[in-house]
Amino acid sequence: MGKMVKMKKFPKSRNFFLLTFSIFHASCMFYSMAGSIPPHINSIAIPLVENQTAEFAMAETVTDNLVSSFTKENILRVTDVKRADSVLNGIIMKVNDGPYTYSKEEAVTEYRFTVSMKLEWLDVAKDEVLLTKQYSGWGAYGLSGDI
């Protein structure tokens, strides 16, 4: 009979990191955009982010967080692509998840989760790119989920 292998459980703190990552980068985007929004742009569509990684449900989580952030900041009205003056497209390009800290016994106590993504903001009326930027962020989470 084979040896049982205990699978690493991804705690809620990892999801919290994704939420924080999305909000932080959306906030940076707001800062970049706020002084440079063309007067004819009053709305934004945020389609499902493209996920080029094997991380399950990452695109949905990041997209939901971006929509929530834009809605909360109320800089541009969030709407669907057909009615939007502008569109924010995103691509999750890379995700790394590996050991970060160890105990005295050399057991992993925390993991480091890194996300890299590209955002592109398009002006629909003029059919031009207003902003293209790559973002990267990381967070640490413990096996117990309390970090």
| Domain harbouring 58, CATH code | 3.40.50.10610
CB 105 within 8 A of CB 123: no
For residue 71, being part of any structural domain is answered with yes
77: which strand partners?
43
Single-letter code of the amino acid located at 80: D
Decide: pTM greater than 0.95: no
Single-letter code of the amino acid located at 81: V
For residue 123, being part of any structural domain is answered with yes
Higher-pLDDT residue of 91 and 27 is 91
pLDDT at 143: 72
DSSP state of 84: -
For residue 145, being part of any structural domain is answered with no
For residue 108, being part of any structural domain is answered with no
Has residue 75 got a pLDDT over 90? Answer: no
Q: Tell me which range, 43-52, 69-78, 135-144, is most confidently predicted by mean pLDDT.
A: 43-52
Confidence of residue 11 (pLDDT cuts 50, 70, 90): very low
Q: Tell me which range, 70-74, 101-105, 112-116, is most confidently predicted by mean pLDDT.
A: 101-105
Distance CA 121, CA 89 (A): 6
Has residue 81 got a pLDDT over 90? Answer: yes
CB 121 within 8 A of CB 88: yes
| Number of folded domains that form the chain | 1
For residue 7, being part of any structural domain is answered with no
Total count of residues recorded for the chain: 147
Give, in order, the Cα–Cα distances in Å from 121 to each of 29, 41, 66, 86, 99.
Answer: 9, 11, 13, 7, 34
For residue 140, being part of any structural domain is answered with no
For residue 139, being part of any structural domain is answered with no
CB 30 within 8 A of CB 73: yes
pLDDT at 12: 47
Q: What is the 3-state secondary structure (H, E, C) of 95-120?
A: EEEEEEEECCCCCEEEEEEEEEEEEE
For residue 67, being part of any structural domain is answered with yes
Domain range for residue 127? 12-31+41-93+116-134
Single-letter code of the amino acid located at 59: A
Has residue 46 got a pLDDT over 90? Answer: yes
pLDDT at 70: 87
Q: Going by DSSP bridges, is the β-strand pair 86-102/108-123 parallel, antiparallel, or unpaired?
A: antiparallel
Confidence of residue 55 (pLDDT cuts 50, 70, 90): confident
